[in-house]
Amino acid sequence: MSSTRHKWGDKVRFPHKTERQCSRCDMVKVGRRQTEGGRDRYWDEYWRDEERIYSEATLPCDARREAVAA
């Protein structure tokens, strides 16, 4: 079985971040930018149900669990 990947929607842009939501599992990927000492720093955060999910890499899409259950 092939893995189910996130299906990210269009980016919603803000001054120092972008947000994209997975249409399959409602996870939100937030790309952040912060300027420190004249240098820009970028990182991604993952959120679900208004709670931050701490992870070094993108977590698998929950839709994969639904596909296995079906």
Identity of the residue numbered 17: K
Give domain status of residue 57, yes or no.
yes
Q: How many domains does the chain have?
A: 1
Quick check: 68 pLDDT over 60? no
Asked if residue 61 is part of any domain, the answer here is yes
- For the segment 8-41, what is each residue's pLDDT rounded down to a tens digit? 999 999 999 999 999 999 899 999 998 888 898 9
Count other C-beta atoms under 10 Å from residue 21's C-beta. 19
Domain assignment present for residue 4? The answer is no
| Cβ proximity of 25 and 63 under 8 Å | yes
Residue 29, domain member (yes or no): yes
- Give the structural domain span for 47: 12-69
Does residue 2 lie within any of the structural domains? no
Q: Is the pTM of this model over 0.85?
A: no
Neighbours of 24 (CB within 10 A): 17
Q: Which helix (H) or strand (E) holds 17?
A: strand 17-21
